[in-house]
């Protein structure tokens, strides 16, 4: 049976020093979720914790979930399964292919099934899970990306992680959050954790028509939360996983100046959107923001192969 896992990894809070922040008089500290573990990295672990608890309570033996061939979510899930000793199954988008991520998934013992593109598109249909639950009756299903209310609830403790470490950033308080949003689950967790106290800015890694706003709304409603202190900002640069020279140049310069590694799909786009917002005066002088480094660095390997 899936064990009760009480792993509370440490994510340091580190000040970010750049010339554009200095010029604007804005202070940023990075919550380094990329540093919580060499394998189980980023926001993914936090999005999984409540799903794992639910699976344990239900007496499940493991988890079954979905993702693409470079999925950070499946990577963290497979690594957690190996580390903590539970079974994992991954339902993958598209046709069988080998990427650095899928090779890791297999190495970590995850059982893979390739659904094709049409089969994967059916994942939101009502009967989608029935055949998989018949095949794997002892596995607990987790939605794509570890989303939904359980995913958001798992991210709420990020707020206390930051509050406990404000001194490390030389701060006594902060004004808000800035992070990449894919489904908006992590952002919803921060909105819940703040309870209306501070603004949460989500830099969209996906285009506007991906329905992030309604997904965040659904989570907040399910949680009975009346606060709506968040704002979604277009940071996708023309589409999910769309990468251009300006972005790659920004990432390179930023890494050289700060030593904080970024990948182009989420964290690179999010930090670049923050720079644009700061330079446009959207974030006023004297403001202090926490930038959440949501990890995803394993996905860079697949990107380098594609580019
Ligand atoms: C590295 C990284 N950052 C951010 C996100 C977005 O998180 P969320 O789906 O909770 O908005 C994801 C996954 O979607 C991710 O892999």
Parse the chain into domains and list their residue ranges: 13-39+150-306, 43-146
- Between the CA of residue 241 and those of 180, 204, 255, 267, 273, what are the distances in Å? 13, 11, 19, 12, 15
Distance, in Å, from the CA atom of 251 to the CA atom of 261, rounded to the nearest integer, reads 8
Distance, in Å, from the CA atom of 154 to the CA atom of 213, rounded to the nearest integer, reads 19
CATH class of 43-146: alpha beta
72 lines ligand 1 (CB under 6 A): yes
pLDDT of 305 higher than 50:
no
Q: What is the pLDDT of residue 241?
A: 87
Considering only CA atoms, which residue is closest to atom 3 of ligand 1?
Answer: 294
Distance, in Å, from the CA atom of 184 to the CA atom of 23, rounded to the nearest integer, reads 30
Average pLDDT over residues 94-106: 97
pLDDT of 307 higher than 50:
no
Q: Of 41, 65, 71, 236, which residue is the catalytic one?
A: 71
Told to judge if 41 belongs to the known catalytic residues of this protein, a careful annotator would answer no
pLDDT of 289 higher than 50:
yes
Q: Using the atom order of ligand 1, give the atom closest to the CA of residue 183.
A: 9
Write down how long the chain is.
307
Q: What is the pLDDT of residue 225?
A: 97
CA of 185 to the centre of ligand 1 (A): 8
Q: Pick from 67, 14, 68, 76: which is nearest to 297 by CA?
A: 76
Considering only CA atoms, which residue is closest to atom 14 of ligand 1?
Answer: 182
Considering only CA atoms, which residue is closest to atom 12 of ligand 1?
Answer: 182
180 lines ligand 1 (CB under 6 A): yes
- The CATH number that domain 13-39+150-306 falls under is 3.40.50.1100
Q: Could you report the per-residue pLDDT of 114-155, keeping only the tens digit for each?
A: 999 999 999 999 999 999 999 999 999 999 999 999 999 999
Average pLDDT over residues 15-41: 97
Q: Pick from 121, 63, 115, 119: which is nearest to 89 by CA?
A: 63
Q: Could you report the per-residue pLDDT of 54-98, keeping only the tens digit for each?
A: 999 999 999 999 999 999 999 999 999 999 999 999 999 999 999
Which residues sit opposite 294 in a β-bridge? none
| CB 266 within 8 Å of CB 298 | no
pLDDT of 250 higher than 80:
yes
183 lines ligand 1 (CB under 6 A): yes
Identical fold between 13-39+150-306 and 43-146: yes
Q: What is the pLDDT of residue 304?
A: 55
Q: Could you report the per-residue pLDDT of 190-242, keeping only the tens digit for each?
A: 999 999 999 999 999 999 889 999 999 999 999 999 999 999 999 999 989 89
| CB 66 within 8 Å of CB 123 | yes
Q: Using the atom order of ligand 1, give the atom closest to the CA of residue 189.
A: 10
Q: Tokens 């994510």 belong to which residue?
A: 11
Q: Pick from 264, 117, 266: which is nearest to 182 by CA?
A: 266
Tokens for 153, please give them.
Answer: 């609830």
Distance, in Å, from the CA atom of 96 to the CA atom of 103, rounded to the nearest integer, reads 11
150 lines ligand 1 (CB under 6 A): no
Q: Which residues touch 13 (CB under 8 Å, ≥6 apart)?
A: 29, 30, 31, 32, 161, 162, 165, 166, 168, 169, 290
CA of 9 to the centre of ligand 1 (A): 18
181 lines ligand 1 (CB under 6 A): yes
């Amino acid at each position: 049976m899936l064990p009760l896992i009480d792993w509370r990894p440490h994510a340091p809070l580190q000040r970010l020093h750049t010339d554009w922040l200095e010029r604007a008089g804005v202070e940023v500290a990075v919550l380094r979720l990329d540093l919580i573990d060499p394998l189980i990295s980023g926001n993914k672990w936090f999005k999984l914790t409540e799903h794992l608890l639910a699976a344990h309570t239900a007496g499940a033996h493991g988890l079954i979930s979905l993702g693409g061939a470079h999925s950070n979510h499946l990577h963290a899930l497979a690594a957690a399964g190996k580390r903590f000793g539970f079974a994992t199954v991954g339902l993958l988008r598209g046709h069988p292919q080998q990427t650095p991520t899928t090779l890791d998934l297999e190495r970590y013992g995850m059982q893979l099934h390739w659904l094709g593109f049409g089969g994967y598109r059916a994942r939101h249909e009502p009967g989608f899970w029935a055949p998989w639950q018949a095949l794997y009756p002892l596995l607990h299903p987790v939605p794509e990306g570890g989303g939904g209310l359980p995913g958001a609830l798992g991210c709420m403790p990020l707020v206390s992680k930051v509050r406990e470490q404000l001194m490390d950033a030389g701060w006594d308080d902060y004004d808000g959050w800035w992070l990449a949003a894919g489904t908006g689950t992590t952002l919803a967790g921060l909105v819940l954790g703040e309870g209306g106290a501070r603004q949460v800015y989500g830099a969209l890694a996906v285009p506007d028509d991906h329905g992030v706003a309604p997904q965040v709304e659904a989570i907040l409603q399910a949680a009975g939360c009346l606060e709506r202190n968040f704002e979604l900002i277009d940071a996708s640069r023309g589409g999910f996983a769309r990468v251009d020279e300006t972005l790659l140049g920004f990432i390179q310069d930023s890494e050289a100046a700060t030593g904080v590694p970024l990948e182009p799909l989420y964290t690179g786009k999010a930090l670049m959107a923050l720079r644009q917002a700061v330079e446009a005066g959207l974030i006023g002088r004297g403001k202090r923001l926490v930038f959440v480094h949501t990890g995803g660095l394993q996905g860079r390997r697949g990107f380098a192969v594609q580019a």
